[in-house]
Amino acid sequence: MKKSAKVIVAVVFFVFVIAVSVYFISVQKNDSDDSAVQESAVSCGDPAAQVLSGADEAYADAQELIGNADFDGAAERLESAIKEYPGEARLYNLLGQALMYKKDVERALAAFKKAVAFEPGNIGFIFDLASMQFKIELFEDSAATIEAVDPRNVDDPMQAVLAVNICLQAFLPEAGVRWSERALALLSPETETAGFILTRKALFLSMLGASDESIMMIDQMKFDPQNEEKLFLQATLKAGFIRWLGRKPGEREKMLADMAAQAKSEFVADTIRLSQALVAMEDSKWKDAADFLKKELPEPASSDSVTKVFHYLMRQGVNVIALDKTGQTQKAKELIEKMKNWCGANSNGAGRLLVARCQAVELLSKKNDVKEASEICAKSPPSLTAACLLNAGFGSEMNGDDGSAWELYSKSAGAARYNAFPRKLSRVLLKNINDSRKALNEASR
């Protein structure tokens, strides 16, 4: 009887943390004529003018306190002012910034939301809220916050850059292309940030089926030959785009082999070998995949970059497959335990992305209830949902539950709309389970 495939590939592009920009809304000064009118109105007891003057004073005081790093004092001043001027959106927005500096996340979010509620068309307030949501990895919320904003109405390049990153984490390639183009129109072409946005645009285009164009864009970019992590990024993206290409048998393999021959470091070479292994798995060439991954990969240190950490978890997850499919099940289980131990030592207090990846490792190690596993994966960032479900399917299949594996692989295929490789692989896995069932039926006749 043909053994069912037991495969899970945690395919996701590496996340690059963007610093959250804080935008202070400056108070516009009136010219001398307007000031004279205002002073006259105040002296006559105009209530509206008094409110404006009082809110201005509170806002200026809080700005000064924030500038002096007295965030507690700023928050107290603003909270007091809000009681007197409850309709002043900018007071809520500045309060959100003061609370953000204090790391009072929940209250900061509430203040930013209040500012947007009072002035829903204020782009600065919208992006302050989205920045906070992105910073704490509420990617779906940040995407919803900027959804109604027309990129053409944004003139701050860092707001456009933030929108690009939000679209990446929320898996919104169409919007990502639009925001990338806006960011590139606002940035100086020679800047590092512009180069970063070009890589994001190439990624969005590849999600939409334009991998050939994406490869050309990556090839035209100049990366610092002394910066290993940037070279790793270039190699990871290009190798991924090659995997997504529709080519005759052997063409993708040759392209990846040519890349591997030109790798400048072992770190770069390893990400190319990972893509070679994934292509081999797509064709059920398990021994080839195992050979590509046979070199031991050391565990990342706690001080290592997020790039190395995520590569380690993804690569080792794929290696588990290769080991299991070539009859080295015990080694595969030992590697799973090693990954679980690493996660146990490093994921406490970590961000949502790392926690989700480590939850997927846990699902990889056991038979999973479909409903429970689906609920766990639904809480993952959109960029990890399909991989999480695949892990759960593999765990179930490895532990003898083909029925649950079938359901989880089907869910993974449905969630992998913009992940070409998981989508293809899910279909291969479903076919393998069907083939195994047919073989079993034939043998029982």
Q: What is the pLDDT along the chain (445 residues), one digit of tens a residue?
A: 333 333 333 333 322 222 222 222 232 333 333 332 233 222 333 444 444 468 999 999 999 999 999 999 999 999 999 999 999 999 999 999 999 999 999 999 999 999 999 999 999 999 999 999 999 999 999 999 999 999 999 999 999 999 999 999 998 999 999 999 999 999 999 898 999 999 999 999 999 989 999 999 998 887 788 888 888 989 999 999 998 887 888 999 999 999 999 998 999 999 999 999 999 988 889 999 999 999 998 999 878 888 889 999 999 998 998 898 899 989 999 999 999 999 999 988 888 889 999 999 999 999 999 999 999 999 998 888 988 998 899 889 888 898 999 899 899 988 877 766 667 677 767 777 787 777 777 777 6
Structure tokens at 412: 């993974």
Tokens encoding 388: 């999480």
* Identical fold, 24-119 and 120-444: yes
Cβ neighbourhood burial of 150 (10 Å; 0-12, 13-18, 19+): exposed
pTM: 0.79
Q: Which two tokens stand for residue 297?
A: 């990969």
Whole-angstrom CA distances from 6 to 61, 233, 276 are 62, 29, 18
Interior angle at CA 374, CA 370 and CA 375, nearest 5: 120
**How far apart, in whole angstroms, are the C-alpha atoms of residue 14 and residue 233?**
8
Write out the CATH class of domain 120-444: mainly alpha
Place of tokens 């010219």: 31
Q: Which CATH number fits domain 24-119: 2.30.110.10, 3.20.20.70, 1.25.40.10, 3.40.50.720?
A: 1.25.40.10
Of 37, 38, 64, which Cα lies nearest the Cα of 51?
38
DSSP assignments along 155-221, one per residue:
--HHHHHHHHHHHHHTT-HHHHHHHHHHHHHHS-TTSHHHHHHHHHHHHHHHHTT-HHHHHHHHHHS
Enumerate the domain spans of the chain.
24-119, 120-444
Contact 431, 7 (CB under 8 A): no
User: CA–CA separation, 432 vs 312, rounded Å?
Assistant: 28
Rg of the chain over all Cα atoms, to the nearest angstrom? 26
For residue 28, which phi and psi values (nearest 5 degrees)? Answer: -80, 130
